[in-house]
């Protein structure tokens, strides 16, 4: 994190915003307080090991305590939040030390050896308290008013889209770390590394364990770039190297970055297509500002992508016809972005209001994760793509779209898999701060 920032002051202001949001939501839903759980260690089926711990988003919204299960934060309006830090008496694992950091002044920190001790430290009567988090066996005896009440969570999720200055500082840092990792990954790719070797270069440059990243990196060489959530890491490089699509982010104080880049290994034609696609992506980024309906930006992306497909001799019809006929969806089958923050696909992207209801997706675009009108303080990803996906191409071959696609050109590009370029944008009143491009520029300095 930037040492010149006054993180203590930023987090203090952030906590005031958190308290105000909870105050409004609790009052509207008839609760006197909230109990927020960090989450449990989840056991692996029929094993004595556990899955890697992932802290619940609403817990780390209060405190950036990311690696300690079985903690609780108790909040009553008008009172300092109480953090019950799990400190088991255990010689198998090292217990968490009481943290001393920029954020600890905002909570009343108390140790708790186990859940029973945590319950004893809470008020005796929790009959008007809302519980947020994964249920555990003892919860039924704790006497909470409700667990994860939908009306309360909806209000909190709706407000969460607007980031505080503290959260924006964390997201800038997450992008800085990701840019460092991406630079290292690009060097490994240029040196002929395998998918696994490239991923290891990314992780090493970020200075994190894989389980500390917000999601497992996607490192897709050649035609694997056509698999949108490619999940493998081949140990050996392919016999012939054509391209790399890497979708990988980092995390800072619990906040995620989500960054994608695509590279050509040695093919000038594909490199030119990537460069031209980068211009399309940047044009879409320039359209981001408060007051814009994200659905309109998504449809604009299809028009721009369809025009590029025609210019690049991939389709035989103009952009308007390609969108109307569904040809653009053959090559761009996903939404162009989503809210970003405590989660990679942050909550509340479809909500109509704090009371609930969903804003519908445009007809024919079922995978869009964001439909809201953008507000100052939102952080969104912008990630259009062009892919050569065999099942979608096969469907198009069998219907009226076949005549609108240059199949010879498509066949020549299939070995590259696809192109996706993704930046993280903080929405302002007049435009957007491109957290990702700024981070890459700083990484060059």
Q: Can you give the pLDDT at residue 9? A: 97
Q: Can you give the pLDDT at residue 77? A: 98
Low-confidence ranges of the chain (pLDDT < 70): 3-4, 445
Q: Can you give the pLDDT at residue 3? A: 60
List Cβ neighbours of 432 (8 Å cut-off, separation of 6 or more): 285, 288, 289, 425, 426
Q: Is the pTM of this model over 0.85?
A: yes
In this structure, the strands spanning 129-132 and 251-252 are unpaired
166: helix, coil or strand? helix
Q: What pLDDT, in 10s, does the model give residues 44-76?
A: 999 999 999 999 999 999 999 999 999 999 999
In a 13 Å sphere around the CA of 405, the CA atoms on its Cβ side amount to 26
Q: Can you give the pLDDT at residue 7? A: 95
- What are the chain's domains? 7-159 (3.40.350.10), 165-444 (3.90.230.10)
Q: Can you give the pLDDT at residue 4? A: 64
Q: Output the CA–CA distances (angstroms, integers) from residue 416 to 29, 221, 242, 411, 437, in the order listed.
A: 52, 8, 6, 10, 24
């Amino acid at each position: 994190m930037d040492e010149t920032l006054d993180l203590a002051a930023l987090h203090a202001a952030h906590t005031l915003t958190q308290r105000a949001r909870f105050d409004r939501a609790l009052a509207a839903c008839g609760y006197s307080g909230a109990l927020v759980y960090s989450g449990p260690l989840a056991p692996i089926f029929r094993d004595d090991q556990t899955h890697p711990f992932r802290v619940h988003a609403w817990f780390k919204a209060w405190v950036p305590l990311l690696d300690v299960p079985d903690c609780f934060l108790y909040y009553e309006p008008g009172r300092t939040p109480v953090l019950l830090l799990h400190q088991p008496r255990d010689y198998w694992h090292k217990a968490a030390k009481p943290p001393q950091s920029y954020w600890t002044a905002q909570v009343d920190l108390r140790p708790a050896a186990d859940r029973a001790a945590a319950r004893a430290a809470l008020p005796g009567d929790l009959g008007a308290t809302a519980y947020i988090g994964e249920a555990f066996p003892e919860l039924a005896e704790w006497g909470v008013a409700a667990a994860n009440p939908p009306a309360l969570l909806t209000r909190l999720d709706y407000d969460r889209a607007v980031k505080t200055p503290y959260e924006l500082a964390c997201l800038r840092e997450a992008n800085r770390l990701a840019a460092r990792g991406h630079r290292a990954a690009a060097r490994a790719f240029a040196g002929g590394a395998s998918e696994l070797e490239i991923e290891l270069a990314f992780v090493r440059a970020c200075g994190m364990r894989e389980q500390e990243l917000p999601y497992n990196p996607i490192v897709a060489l050649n035609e694997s770039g056509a698999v949108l959530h490619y999940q493998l890491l081949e140990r050996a490089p392919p016999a012939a190297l054509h391209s790399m699509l890497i979708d990988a982010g980092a995390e800072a104080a619990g906040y995620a970055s989500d960054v994608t880049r695509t590279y050509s290994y040695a093919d000038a034609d594909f490199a030119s297509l990537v460069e031209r696609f980068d211009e399309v992506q940047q044009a879409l980024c320039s359209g981001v500002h408060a007051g814009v309906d994200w659905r309109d930006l998504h449809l604009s992306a299809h028009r721009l992508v369809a025009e590029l497909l025609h210019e690049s001799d991939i389709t035989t019809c103009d952009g308007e016809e390609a969108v109307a006929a569904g040809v653009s969806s053959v090559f761009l089958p996903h939404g162009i972005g989503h809210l970003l923050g405590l989660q990679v696909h942050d909550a509340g992207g479809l909500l109509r209001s704090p009371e609930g209801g969903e804003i519908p997706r445009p007809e024919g675009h079922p995978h869009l994760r964001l439909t809201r009108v953008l507000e100052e303080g939102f952080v969104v990803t912008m990630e259009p793509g062009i892919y050569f996906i065999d099942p979608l191409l096969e469907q198009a071959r069998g219907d009226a779209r076949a005549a609108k696609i240059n199949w010879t050109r498509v066949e020549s590009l299939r070995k590259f898999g696809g192109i996706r370029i993704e930046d993280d944008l903080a929405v302002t009143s007049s435009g957007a701060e491109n957290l990702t491009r700024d981070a890459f520029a700083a990484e060059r300095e």
